[in-house]
Amino acid sequence: MRRRRFQKGSLQLRKHADRRVWVVLYYDQKSERRYHTLGWASEMNKGQADEKRQEFMREINGGARTTGAIRPPTVAEFLDQVYLPFYLGKWKESTAGTSENRLRHHIEKELGALRLQDLTLSPLQQFLERKAAAGLSFSMVDHLRWDLSSIFEMAVSEKVIAVNPTSALYTPKTAKRSESQAMSADQVELALGGVEYREQVILRLAIFAGMRPGELLAIQREHVRPDASVIEIR
């Protein structure tokens, strides 16, 4: 019996007579394009329609509306069809670029062909151990551990798998930790003495207040109290 792949379904607005309706497009057992009406656009917003899409597609992927066997999704399919479309709409542009690159280069490249339901704690921990042994930094391996936890947590919430195998994952102690570097007092004085007043203010806020570049560049006049004693950004 032919096994069908995991589907996310495509949420779309269509016109029916003189009214618009939310529909979800998907493929049936014969790989033919079908659509299912979710409801009138005047009676539900996009978020509500998307919830109905998810509910319907859960049935299509593993429930009452199918008679054929459903092939469980691979890691790559879940990333492409569910995880990344959701988070790319949530992440800031800078976060999206680094996160997607990390997911593609490490997780999809090595685990992409494996089915989500076949991955248990042991092989996932071994994946992190291999990354640590390959010389990746502690921070990078820790990010990969978080990525795996996030992926499998979403897979559970989408009812793709029953149990999250990542709850006991840990970042290997063998992962390379970079040595932290700090400026000496003389170096701070040298840096402050080598720039104009505006840059001195930026350097002081970065060095002594720990503000990040994005925070520094976002400061507006209204964020600074009249006596210049406090910078407050909400």
Residue 180 lies in a domain: no
Residues 142 and 196 in one domain: no
Q: What is the CATH number of the domain that holds 94?
A: 1.10.150
Greatest CA separation for the chain: 76
Residue 15 pLDDT greater than 80, yes or no: no
pLDDT band of residue 4 (cuts 50, 70, 90) is low
- Provide the token pair at 12: 């779309």
Residues 19 and 90 in one domain: no
Q: Which of 157, 176, 209 is the last residue of a domain?
A: 157
Q: What is the pLDDT of residue 178?
A: 72
Residue 230 lies in a domain: no
**Average pLDDT for the chain:** 84
Q: What is the pLDDT of residue 71?
A: 62
CA distance 219 to 233: 8
pLDDT band of residue 3 (cuts 50, 70, 90) is low
Share of the chain above pLDDT 90, in %: 29
Q: Which of 117, 142, 157 is the last residue of a domain?
A: 157
CA distance 230 to 176: 38
pLDDT band of residue 234 (cuts 50, 70, 90) is low
As a whole number, mean pLDDT of residues 9-15 equals 82
Residue 6 pLDDT greater than 80, yes or no: no
The torsion angles phi and psi of 74, rounded to 5 degrees, stand at -80, 170
As a whole number, mean pLDDT of residues 200-222 equals 83
76-110 core/surface letters (b: 16 or more CB in 10 A; e: else): bbbbbbbbbeebeeeeeeeeeeebbeebeebbbee
Q: What is the pLDDT of residue 65?
A: 46
As a whole number, mean pLDDT of residues 210-224 equals 81
Give how many domains the chain has, as a whole number.
3
* Residue 17 DSSP symbol: T
pLDDT digits 0-9 by tens, 43-58: 889 888 888 888 888 8
Residues 99 and 56 in one domain: no
Residues 196 and 128 in one domain: no
pLDDT band of residue 66 (cuts 50, 70, 90) is very low
**Which domain range does residue 219 map to?**
185-223
Contact 59, 67 (CB under 8 A): no
* Residue 108 DSSP symbol: I
Contact 72, 117 (CB under 8 A): yes
Share of the chain above pLDDT 70, in %: 91
CA distance 97 to 169: 25
Q: What is the pLDDT of residue 68?
A: 45
CA distance 79 to 180: 34
Contact 83, 156 (CB under 8 A): no
Residue 70 lies in a domain: no
Residues 50 and 28 in one domain: yes
As a whole number, mean pLDDT of residues 119-131 equals 96
Residue 120 lies in a domain: yes
- Where does 61-127 show beta strands of DSSP type E? none
Chain CA centroid to CA 148, Å: 10
Q: What is the pLDDT of residue 149?
A: 97
Residue 166 lies in a domain: no
